Every structure is written in C-alpha cells, then in structure tokens.
Structure 1
Amino acid sequence: MITGGSPSLGNFALFPYVSCPGDDLNRCVFPKKARKIHYNADSIKSTPGYFALTLSSGIASDMTTAQHTSLFRFKFPTSNNASSSPLILLDLTDLADSRQDNGSISVDATTGRMTGKARFLPSFGSGSWTGYFCADFAGADIRDNGIFVNSRASADVKKLAISRSINNYPLPGGGFIRFKSTPAEGILARVAVSLISSEQACKSAESEIPDFDFEATQKAAEDLWRQKLSPISVSTDGVDPSLITNFYSGIYRTMVNPQNYTGENPLWESDEPYFDSFYCLWDSFRSQLPFLTIVDPASITQMIRSLIDTYEHEGWLPDCRMTLCKGYTQGGSNADVVLTDAYIKGLVDGIDWDKGYEAVVKDAEVEPYDWINEGRGGLDSWKTLGYIPAQDFDYKGFGTMTRSVSRTLEYSYNDFCIAQMAKGLRGRDADVEKYEERSSNWRNLYNKDQKSFRIFDNGADTGFTGFFQGKYLNGTWATQDPLWCSNLENTNRPCSLQNTGQETFESSLWEYGFFVPGDQAALISLYGGPEAFVRRLDYLHDQNITYIGNEPAFLTVFQYHYAGRPALSALRSHMYIPSNNGLPGNDDSGAMGSFVAMSMMGLFPNPGQNVYLITTPYFPSVSITSPLTKKTATIRNINFDPTYSAIYIQSATLNGEPYTKNWIDHSFFTEGKELVLTLGRNESGWGTRVEDLPPSLSAYEGFNGTVGRGLGKRGRRWRRNKEEWVGSMGSVKFAEFVSDEM
C-alpha cells in the first residue's frame, strides 16, 4: 500500500539465497544494499491475498497471509550445478531503514525458530514503536542456523542484540537458516508479527497457519476478500476489461488501511476496537471512508469507536496515526469530518456519540501543546480574528507555522461539520449557531483585488481576480502567488510541512479557492455567480493547475453540480480516469482507489454531509447491497454507450418516479432504491434548477435572477426522528444558462 511520506513498515524482511559461493557461509553477501538483485518484471503476479515474483537468481517466491501471519514459499533452481544448500536470511530491518537501537534476535538451534524485536520510527509521525516477530520454517531438513552481523555470519552464535550505529544507517544484522536440500515443492517460511511480544506473535502464527498449508491459507485469504468485495456488482457488457480491473482494484485498495489492531495495543487496556494506520484522515476523509460507510459499515463503525477510544486515552482525536504513534496534522482536525459523516449516515452499533461530540468540540475549543500532531493551532486568533494569521503569535501550542490559508479553510469546514452533528443531538442549539457562524470564517481571507498571472508563461494575466490570501495579525495581506504550489510550478518550492512552506498545503491558492464544501452557494456568489464559477472551475482543470493525483483535487471534479452543470462533472470524471489508467497518483492508503471507485460508480460524496453527487456510472448498471439492511440499491443506465460519448443525463427516475435532483442521500443505499438514468450525447436541463442543487448553508443566488433558500438557520428544518435534511428551494428556468450542446 503506497502512502505519502517515507516508506511504511516492511519489517523483518526475508531474503533467500540459492547457496553461498563455494558452500562457504561467509562468502554470502549479507548487507542489504550489497545483496540486492533484480527480479523478472514479467514474473509478477498479484491478486488479493497473494503475491509472487521470480528473482534474477532463479528463486521463485510467492506469499500469502492471514491476519497477523504471512506465509512465504521459496522454490530454488537446481539446474545450475550449484550446491543444494539454500539459505534464508531474516533481516532486523524495515523498508525505510528506520530501525533504532536494541534490535535483537534469538535462533533455536533445533527447530530453527527465530524470535526477536526491533524499534522503528513511524513514517509520517512522532515517537517510535517496537515490533516483535516469530519465524518458523518447513519443507526441508535444517543444515545449520545462527546470526549474521555486518558482512559475517556464524552458526555457533544463536543470539544477537544490535545497535543502529552512528552513520545514520542501521547496521546489518539478523538471523539465517540453511537447509540440506532443495525440495521441488519449495521451502516455507511462516512469519508472524505482534506489537505486544514475540510470544504473542508465535501464538498467532500457530493458530492462524498451524500446518504451513499454503493453498489453504491463500484460499482463506481469497474468500475473505471475496466477501469484502461482494456488496458491489456491475454489469460489464461492452465495458473495456481494463476499466473493470481498475474499478475493482480501486475498491480493493480502499480496504487495506486503516487496519484492525485490536488485541495488539500495548498503550492502554480497553474493550473497544483499536484501529491503526489512519494514514492520514486528511487524505481519507474525502472519499475512502465515505466509500467504506457504504460497503463496509461494520468496519467503519469499529473505526469510529477506535477514534473515540483514542480520544478517551490520549486526550485527542488523531488526524493521522500509524503503528501506535501520533502522525502529523496536515491541515484541519479532520476526524471531525469523519465522525460527522458517520453520524449523519446513521451508524450506531456501540458508538458513544455524546463522547464523540465531546471530542470534536475539544478540537474546536482547546489548543493542544503539540498541534502538529493533533487538534488545531492558533485557536485564540481563530476565535478573535476569525482566521489563522500568517506568522501568527501563538504561545499556547506549537507546530509548523505555515498553511494559514488552508488551515483557515479546513477549520471552517471542520466547524461546519460539528454544527451538523450538533443538529442531531438534543440540547445543542446554541452550538449549532456558534459553529455555523465560525464555519463562515473562510470569507475573512478573501482578497477581492488579488490577481493571478501566469508566472510560468511570460506573466500573462489569467483574467481572474479575487482569491483567498494569507493575512497577518494586523489585517494586512500576505503575498503568495495563486499559482505557487500548483501543478504548473516546477521550482521545487516547499509546499508541504517544511517550516519554509507556503500558506497552503500541497496545493495552490487556485485549488484551495474551491474548498468551501459546506457553503458552495456562498462561494458561487462570491465569484460572481454560476457562470463565472464555472469559468473559473474550467480554468483550474483546462490549464492543468490542479493535480488529480492529490486529494484536494477530488471534489473540484464534481463541483459543477453546485452551479447547475452536472454534465460538466461527468465530463471531467471521464477526462481524468481513462487518461490516468484508472489510478491518478500516489494511492495514499486507498484515497486514490476510492476516488476511482466512486467516480466510476457514479455517486461521489461531499463528506460530512448526507450528499452524493450523481454522475453517469461507467457500467450499464451498478448494484450495491447494504451489509446493514441487506437491501440492494441499483443505478441503471438507459442508452449506455461503451465509447462514453453519451455520458450526459437526460432524465432520471427514482423507484419509478421522476427524479430531477442532481444528488441523492444515504438512504438510497440503506433502503435499496433504484435510480434509472437516461443518457444522451448532449448536456440537458436535468439537475440544473435551483431546487435540484445540493444543500448549501447559504441561499443560492444569481441563478437567472432567482434566489433559492439555503439551509442555514432561517432556511432549514430538522427531522430528528429520521435524521435527514428537508430543504425548500425556489425554482428557476435554466434556458439561458444551459447550452444545447457541449
């Protein structure tokens, strides 16, 4: 699973040798950098629960897994007249070479069992963690075993404790085992890991893969994956097989992280589930976790309980967490969005929502000492000035003093989400008003006079004026070019968590200019109305400013819905996915996979709201069975075109009745409704009226002179018994706004 930051995990690696030259143990090459060899690219095979490749040495390796235990099978060549005494090495290392001091291993002379531990760094966080292992071998008689350190090995020494060394690279060290023969069926290595102890790792290995049965273990893994993937089925008539592969691969990727570490948490005792590898919520809140809410609500429920339990014991909801360590906060306190999304979509099953609400309110009200790891920084300024200042004076907590614009925009949305949760909890009316008001703080960083020039194209004017911009404590504007940190810039400008970074995180002012997920109506008005909004959104995409391989781009693909142009969202979706061969970029623990899956499914979430934006699925039909209700929701295309020329919705029915809204809520899945879309080659008037647009905190204005009623406190009605929005909006004709053809 690819993540941002440094490589993750990859602990206690195995490395097989055909033999040692001259049958001399010390002539084998042990250090990791020196022993590396190529693999045959055409030998790679990967399916859920299985991976295989062949090394250039001729060793064929394949592997499968249970929950805590992996099973490796190595088949050694016998036709090269080499000595038939293969060797397998276990290295006290990890993928990122982050091993710290006190790595250790013990080798049993008789059985060959290896046990030990090492301490490592997290790949995107603070602190360190200790992993334990238990390795057993089967398939051939043992010739000898022992330990290696640096470039030498010994069968006479069975224990090793090793430091990191002083050269910022961990010393090579670990254990080895040699065999007397090379059986045709291969040699098996069973390796279990634990965060508690080697003894617990051994118990997991013996219970999960007791007989070293590779085929049975692989089948069990495949069966579990089939069960996980089973809620979604698609009609594939006429669909390019590569799109089908990309779709299901995307779904598969959504289910790798976060990981269930229940029973493996040494930090505190609890009866609650413990999930790890929230990697990071800034990435996953946008589509991955909403996707799992549809297809795997039981796991999401456990994740929510785990997040709340982490708050209970650590004092804060994590924004990023890996291998027992606190990860870095990239922007807002996005667990607020995750909890709200689960709450408004009706997840219960043991979740203490009062405690969850307490946790999100703490994010909004209390500044932690280390807000680089949790919560929010700059809360004094947030509450008094209504924005996070550039170069803020913040003596209460500490973090990288950058990202003032993106943090302001993200804090605004975090507060919007807290208000949504407060609406469903009795006695929180004052909180609803407070957090709705704070959710509009994004307005305070809008510089109506800010221009944008194509700084990489002889300074030509983009033609657009008015952008969010950093602001100092005294109210004067900071200066960040709107195209800095965009996809167009190639200057290696620091745009991430560096202390020399910009006022936006991993993205430009151009892109963050659209991040107002709770009040798109107000943003559209700010930019001059729907036509001006669409022109600006078109420019973002057409000029290659946005990078679809990073998460802030996701929602911008579908924000045309809010301007009454859902057809353009479909157009952008089809522009990006085929051109990127399905996966747009770094998968970020399933974030990219979920973007692909939900885009191809035709329903994209605006997380923290009970809203899915409707576009055309990439298949004749898509069916999703709710694991909670066992009811099956179906999206069916009439006039499906496998060339994807007819991707524009002409009309729709929901359960047989005409349906004109360009969005749908979560009851579509839980109640098993049927959405039928009639498609055509031209943009139509479907989903374009004000009453068809998704909910927004403010009223829609400027739509051909008609003002719609927003879902703020004057224009909303809350049905507590059903937990759903009921909004009444005015009507408008779009004859002058919607073009007849693309």
Structure 2
Amino acid sequence: MLSIIASVAALHLSKAAADISVQGSDHVNVFQGTRGGGNRFPGVVAAPFAMVKLGPDVESGRTDAYSGYLPTGNIWGFSMMHESGTGGAPKYGVVSQMPVLGNITNPGANFSQPRASPDEGRVGYYKSSLANGITVELAATEHAGLYSYSFPNGSSPSVVIDVSHVLPSFRGLGWEQHYSGGSFGIFDDGHYTGSGTYNNGWNLSPDWSIYFCGKFNQRPSRAYTFVSRGNTTVSNKNGTSWVMGNQRLGGVFAFADTNLQSRVGISFLSTAKACANLDSEITPDTSLETLISNAQRRWNTEVLDKVKITTTNSSDLQLLYSSLYGMFLIPSNRSGENPGWTSTEPYYDDIFTFWDTHRCHTSLFQIIQPIAYEEFIRSLIDIWRHDSFMPDARSSNFNGRVQGGSNADNVLADAFVKGVRGAINWADGFAAMQTDAEVVPPNNFDPKAPDSSTKEGRGALPDWLQYGYITPRFTRAVSRAVEYATNDFGLYQVATGLKKPAEAQRYLNRSRNWRNHWNPSATSEGHSGFLVPRAANGSFIPQDPKDCGGCYWGDAYYEDNAWIYSMNAIHDVAELKRRIGGDERFVDRLDKLFDLGIFNAGNEPGFTSPFLYNFVRGMQWKSVERSRYIGSLYGAGESGLPGNSDAGAMESNLLWQMIGLWPMTGQTTFLILAPWFESMTIDLGRNKSLSVISTGGARDTSYYVQSLRVNGQPWDKAWVAWEDIFANGGTLEYVLGDSPVGWSTGELPPSPAS
C-alpha cells in the first residue's frame, strides 16, 4: 500500500508520517520537465506567478532554449525574465548579467562558460558552477533578484551587463525576438540604471521596454559603459557615463573582493520604479538564505500545502508537489506594473495559452488559488476594456497568438458557473465574451496564417456568422469551428446566468454548429462520421480522418486530426454519441484512439477524450484504465512530462487524475476517475475542504472503482457536480479493487447542448 493508513483513520496519522508532507517545498524537483521537450523553467520564482523569473540562459548549437535553460551547453548569462513550459519560440531572457574572470578588453565578446557540474536548484534557490571556477547562486522576490558570486581566490572579478541580451530562436519561422535599443547609466556611487527595448517573439509583439536598477554590495574598483557597433566595441574608460541607442550596449564592473552580491530590480514603468522595487524588496542586508526561506514559505502557504496526501512514498510526494509547483509558474502577476493604461484592476500577463490551459489548468487554478483566480478573471476583462479584446495568449503586454477559438470565453464561463463573483463585473465580462462572438478582429497578417487575425478574437468569424461553419478560405477551419462552438456554449452559460434569454438561445444554437462540419459519409477504420472541411457551397471536401496534413497553422486541423477533434464538442456528447452510432460504437471509437496510436497524451486537443467512457453506463472503468496509462507517462524527473508543459497544462492534467476527477470546462460537471492515494485533502479556503479517501486499492494493480460514496451517500453516477463537493466542501469515499465493475448505472453526465 502507498499509504500508512487504510481508511478514514487518516485522521490519526502518526506524527512521523504527518511530518513528511508538512512542507511541500521539500519535495519539489524544480528540474521536472526540463528535458525531453517539457521546456520547464528551473530557476528562481519567488512566489506563484512572480514577475521575476531569475535563471540561466544556455546556448547549445542552434537549439532553442524556450525557458532559457538547457541541460547541456554553455551558460552565456543569467537573466531576470523567462517563461516556463512554452513552445513556438523563446520569449524574454532580458536584464542579464554574466560574471567574468580577468580584465575585460572587449565587452562585446562571448563570455559563455561550460558548467563544471550539473546545476542545482530547489524552491527559491538556484546554483550554477562554471568551468572557470565561478559559482553563481540566485534568489529573488516578485520584482527583484539577488545574484551571489564566488570567484576563485586571487582572481580579478568582473561582471558584464549586456542590454541587448535576449533569448534567440533558430527555427526560421519569423518568431525570433529582436533587440531594438536601450540605455545604460552608471552613477558615482557605483549603482546603475537603464532599459532595454525588444520586439517580436512568438506573439509577434511590437516594441516593449523593461527598466532595471542594479546595485552591488561593494563599490567597483572600475566601472564603465560600452557600445558595440558591428565588430567594434567602444568603451568609456573614464568611469561614470550614460549611453543610449539601438546598438548593443551595457556596462562593465570590476571588483577587488572575490565574494560579491548583485541586486537588481525591474519594472515595466520606469527606472525609478525599478529602484523602488529593489529597495523595498531586497535591502542591502537581505541575505540569500532569507530570500530562499521567504520563497518557500510563500509557495507552501499559497499552493503546496493546500494539498495533503498520506504516504511514505517519496516518489509520490515529489511527483505531486513538483507538478503543483510547475502549474503555478506562469502567468505573471504584473499588477501595478502595466505600462499600457492606468487601472485599479489586477493585471496578469504571460498567458501561454488558453488553447492549452482552458481544458484543465484554469479549473484547478480556481480551486487552489481562488483569490488570485478572481484577480485573474478581472484582469482578462480589464484587458478587453483597454485593448478591445480579451487574450487567448498574451506576453510583453500584447495579445497574440490565437491558435483556435477565443478560449478566454471558456475560462470566463467556467468561472461563472462555479460561482466566482467577488469584485468581478460580470456585465462587462459578458460584453467581453460578446466581442469575441460578434466582432471580427482586424487582420494582423501573420505570415503563418495571413487569412485572418492570430492576435485575438475569432478571425474566421465571417464564415461562422454567414454559414454556421468555416470554409477553407480560413486556415485551421475545422479545429477552429469545433472551438468556436464550445466558445459559444460558454456565452450561453453566462447569458443564462445573467437572465438574458434571447442571447442564451442565440448562443446555444450556435454552440451546435460543430455539427455542420460532420460528414456522415467520411469513413476511417470501420467508423463513419467525422468533422471534415466544408466548402462555401455546402459540399464536404474529401478528407482522410487520420490525416491532418502538417497539422499546423496553414492546415484544416491544428495539432491533431479529425479522430480527436470529432470528440471535442464536450457540451454536446449525447448528440455526438447518436451520430457515432450509439453506446457500443462510441466505446469502440474511444478504444481505437488508443489501439491505433492516435491519442497523444502530450497534446491538449485529446485531453478529455480518454474519459468520455463515463457517458456510457457501466463503462467508467475504462476511463480509469486510460487514466492509469496516462499517469504512467509522468515522473518527477527531468524527463517527467509526456510533452511540453504548456504553461502547466500538462501538470494539471496529471493532478486531476491524482485527485480522481476530470473537469468538463464551462460546466459544473466533473467526470469520476479513481484517486491515486488512500487519502488526499484539498484546502478549498474559508474553512472548507475536499477529502478523497480510498480503500482496497493499489495504484498500479488494483484501481477499479467497486463502489463510491459522495458526502456519505451511496453514488451510482459516473460524475459529480461542483455543488456536490467543491462549493461547500465534501468527501469522496472510494472502494477500489482488482477487476472492473459496472457500478456507474445511474444518470449520465449532463449534455446540455443536446
């Protein structure tokens, strides 16, 4: 057994067993998902969603370092801003400095260094040991960072700051970042300020600027600025100065002492605000240890210790808490740091992307951090107020890119039906959703998809409104159509709650438009009926359901094929079952996703498909089988994610399966799976909790649900509602066993559009 208890006796844990999971941060592996395409950021993030993400930037041939980090290669700087778990192309890697040995004669040179040993890290702390003998230790706050350098005895320490430093991309897709210019000034007391301006990246943003303010704990023996033009670097040898322009520029600082600390604050508003952030968050006497302790306290209090399990298995603890940690690295809370407009509303940036996260990340975000989640929803609505559209993705204060639908609509709907209110102006929220549903966004002429906007909104809306489907004149026509349908269902949900019957009926009808792409004559592997492209004259275009071409921006389907997208109308499953041919055919089609190797656990469009067995009476056990298979693909190690983290989407997928539930976004429905642990408690806030208890099971060998009690009452449904276990807390008591049991004979999960 994984647990040291058998049942409700979990309440009587021994002190030794309880102590093992008191501090969740002790069990976090910050390097989870940093290999194998997970792209997780392992550096210092001092609190959930902190603006500063301080860590190394690594170069290794022409390999994109999406989070700045690569396990092999040379470190060429330590910068203050990164993303985590993103694809497409790297973003940020700005406000960087690099420790260097000896007298610097050419500040524009490449000072990169191999590592003498693998990097080390834990929550709130990061360490790199360079081949030249320099050790770098990092800690941070939300808006400032602390670099602690140890140079070899007898060496001549220097620090080089290059304002042009930015993470490159080598994919050749036009998504690489560019440095536009900057400024750098050194003052008489040795501190410096400046700014850098950058553009492009995956969201194709125009120029944006970050300001910085840096101070050392010892006065430099020598400090000067430099400007590089082509292969020529001009240095100001006279000490203090100010340089600015679009050339590569920065500063060089030399010191006598081989132990050195560097403090840096950043701001999107001004150098004065950057200095204020630094002085208020990291004072001259603040120690590295204090910052580490503060970071661990924040993470434990705000996220990690809200989920408790009873186990002595260290691998389970590490997997659970590493996944929780990875889920809350981005977006970035930049409240008070918005350069675009003045507002008293919260402001969150670095949304990568709702296409990835709306399926299971945002619903768990709400449960673990309800206060921050309300702020997040308010921020989305405030972005609409000032930028005309809510984002599907956003970074550097700029919307972009939309991969499918306007999935902020799904996020707002999910929050609304689960009772998120607080200070949210839901009238404005619905108006923001209606903008997505009714207003065609201006075309930003994205070279990868020039047919319509990839910046925001629904670019293919003209066809959606005219035909009720999307023709091939728009890229990603089929996958956008099924997402537009779920977006419109979100509007139906909110309109219903706001007592707007006409609007509710309009969007309910539109949420069924996915059916207009259904070609009953399309066949594949013994099945008929798939979502396929459709011409303006109403004719279906021949399409092999297993073939999506390049499955990318210019194709009819984005990142998956018709087998997967045909199962994605999760608000209309009863109708989907009818079209497929009933329960038996529905189960066979789900089976074939796995038997034919179509399902990809690392790809978001298929996230919900493995659990749709719950829509057939007595077949819930198959969802559990699929869940256990998916769970086996995860681990707490460097290659522990089955795909790109996608800003925590992959981690939240696993966490829901550990709980033993699956959220149906935009609805109050949770499909029942089987929990991993004999006891798990989730703190829901306001003195409420969810307790998940199981007996008779073992995660890898005995995991089939034999019976279930919800809040003490026998349960025969393969689903529960928000009101059952989350609104006021609740209990789920499972009996697990070795063999499948058709216990789920009760009412089927809701299918509200059917």
> Normalised by the shorter chain, which TM-score bucket?
0.7 to 0.9
Is residue 385 of structure 1 aligned with residue 461 of structure 2?
no
Q: Secondary structure at the match of 1:135?
A: strand
1:105, CA displacement in angstroms? 1.1
1:323 and 1:548 map into 2 onto residues whose CA distance is: 30
Give the one of 249, 257, 273 matched to 1:181: 257
Give the match for residue 77 of structure 1: 152
Instruction: Summarize deviations over 1:234-280 as a string: whole Å, max 9, x none.
Output: 334354x3332122111112212222111111211111111111211
Give the match for residue 474 of structure 1: 537
1:666, CA displacement in angstroms? 2.0
Is residue 534 of structure 1 aligned with residue 587 of structure 2?
yes
Instruction: Summarize deviations over 1:314-360 as a string: whole Å, max 9, x none.
Output: 22121111111111111111111010000011011110111111111
Is residue 435 of structure 1 aligned with residue 507 of structure 2?
yes
Q: Secondary structure at the match of 2:87?
A: coil
Give the match for residue 570 of structure 1: 624
Which aligned pairs between 1:500-579 and structure 2 lie closer than 5 A? 501-564=554-617, 565-579=619-633
CA contact (8 A) 1:76 1:86 kept: no
Give the match for residue 223 of structure 2: 145
1:357 and 1:40 map into 2 onto residues whose CA distance is: 55
Which aligned pairs between 1:142-291 and structure 2 lie closer than 5 A? 142-150=220-228, 152=233, 153-156=235-238, 158-163=241-246, 172-182=248-258, 186-211=259-284, 212-230=286-304, 232-237=306-311, 239=313, 241-291=314-364
Structure 1 unmatched runs, 5+: 165-171, 392-400, 453-461, 486-492, 699-711, 713-742
The amino acid that maps onto 2:149 is F
Give the match for residue 2 of structure 1: 85
1:545 and 1:36 map into 2 onto residues whose CA distance is: 43
1:52, CA displacement in angstroms? 1.6
Give the match for residue 693 of structure 1: 748
Is residue 95 of structure 1 aligned with residue 167 of structure 2?
yes
CA contact (8 A) 2:156 2:254 kept: no
1:285/1:40 Cα in 2 relative to 1: closer, same or farther (>3 Å)? Answer: farther
1:85/1:381 Cα in 2 relative to 1: closer, same or farther (>3 Å)? Answer: closer
1:238/1:680 Cα in 2 relative to 1: closer, same or farther (>3 Å)? Answer: farther
CA contact (8 A) 1:4 1:588 kept: yes
1:475, CA displacement in angstroms? 1.5
Is residue 450 of structure 1 aligned with residue 522 of structure 2?
yes
CA contact (8 A) 1:141 1:181 kept: no
Instruction: Summarize deviations over 1:544-569 as a string: whole Å, max 9, x none.
Output: 22221121121112222123322111
1:74/1:502 Cα in 2 relative to 1: closer, same or farther (>3 Å)? Answer: same
2:715 and 2:739 map into 1 onto residues whose CA distance is: 19
1:424, CA displacement in angstroms? 1.1
Structure with higher Rg: it is 1
What is the root-mean-square deviation in Å for CA atoms of aligned residues? 2.0
1:566/1:336 Cα in 2 relative to 1: closer, same or farther (>3 Å)? Answer: same
1:40 and 1:415 map into 2 onto residues whose CA distance is: 55
Instruction: Summarize deviations over 1:510-555 as a string: whole Å, max 9, x none.
Output: 2111111101111111111122112111211232222211211211
CA contact (8 A) 1:233 1:622 kept: yes
2:634 and 2:661 map into 1 onto residues whose CA distance is: 20
Give the match for residue 389 of structure 2: 316
2:126 and 2:150 map into 1 onto residues whose CA distance is: 14
Give the match for residue 632 of structure 1: 689
The amino acid that maps onto 1:527 is I
1:67, CA displacement in angstroms? 1.0
1:592, CA displacement in angstroms? 1.1
Is residue 647 of structure 1 aligned with residue 726 of structure 2?
no
Instruction: Summarize deviations over 1:187-228 as a string: whole Å, max 9, x none.
Output: 111111111111100100000111242211121111111112
Give the match for residue 483 of structure 1: 546
2:535 and 2:116 map into 1 onto residues whose CA distance is: 56
CA contact (8 A) 1:60 1:74 kept: yes
2:144 and 2:306 map into 1 onto residues whose CA distance is: 28
1:573 and 1:271 map into 2 onto residues whose CA distance is: 43
CA contact (8 A) 2:202 2:401 kept: no
Which aligned pairs between 1:318-357 and structure 2 lie closer than 5 A? 318-357=391-430
1:449/1:517 Cα in 2 relative to 1: closer, same or farther (>3 Å)? Answer: same
1:178, CA displacement in angstroms? 0.9
CA contact (8 A) 1:92 1:104 kept: no
1:637, CA displacement in angstroms? 0.6
1:117 and 1:681 map into 2 onto residues whose CA distance is: 60
1:494 and 1:41 map into 2 onto residues whose CA distance is: 40
Give the one of 377, 382, 400 matched to 1:304: 377
CA contact (8 A) 1:637 1:679 kept: yes
1:679, CA displacement in angstroms? 0.2
Give the match for residue 680 of structure 2: 622
Which aligned pairs between 1:591-630 and structure 2 lie closer than 5 A? 591-627=649-685, 629-630=686-687
What's the TM-score, normalizing by structure 1? 0.83
2:189 and 2:406 map into 1 onto residues whose CA distance is: 53
Q: Secondary structure at the match of 1:481?
A: coil
The amino acid that maps onto 2:683 is T
1:636, CA displacement in angstroms? 0.3
The amino acid that maps onto 1:663 is W
1:550/1:128 Cα in 2 relative to 1: closer, same or farther (>3 Å)? Answer: farther
The amino acid that maps onto 1:566 is Q
Is residue 126 of structure 1 aligned with residue 205 of structure 2?
yes
Structure 2 unmatched runs, 5+: 1-83, 169-175, 444-452
Q: How many residues align?
A: 643
Identity between Structure 1 and Structure 2 (%): 33
CA contact (8 A) 1:122 1:325 kept: no
The amino acid that maps onto 1:233 is V
1:353 and 1:87 map into 2 onto residues whose CA distance is: 51
1:579 and 1:374 map into 2 onto residues whose CA distance is: 34
Is residue 65 of structure 1 aligned with residue 140 of structure 2?
yes
Give the match for residue 457 of structure 1: none
Instruction: Summarize deviations over 1:90-137 as a string: whole Å, max 9, x none.
Output: 443222372332222112243233433323334324323111111111
Give the match for residue 363 of structure 1: 436
Q: Secondary structure at the match of 2:121?
A: strand
CA contact (8 A) 1:600 1:618 kept: yes
The amino acid that maps onto 1:277 is D
Q: Which has the higher contact order (CA 8 A, sep 6+)?
A: 2
Give the match for residue 37 of structure 2: none
1:29/1:310 Cα in 2 relative to 1: closer, same or farther (>3 Å)? Answer: closer
Is residue 465 of structure 1 aligned with residue 541 of structure 2?
no
2:695 and 2:501 map into 1 onto residues whose CA distance is: 45
Q: Secondary structure at the match of 1:522?
A: helix
1:4, CA displacement in angstroms? 1.9
Q: Secondary structure at the match of 1:560?
A: helix
1:91 and 1:430 map into 2 onto residues whose CA distance is: 55
Give the match for residue 422 of structure 1: 495
CA contact (8 A) 1:480 1:502 kept: no
Q: Secondary structure at the match of 1:25?
A: coil
Q: Secondary structure at the match of 1:142?
A: coil
1:9, CA displacement in angstroms? 1.5
Give the match for residue 458 of structure 2: 376
1:249/1:527 Cα in 2 relative to 1: closer, same or farther (>3 Å)? Answer: same
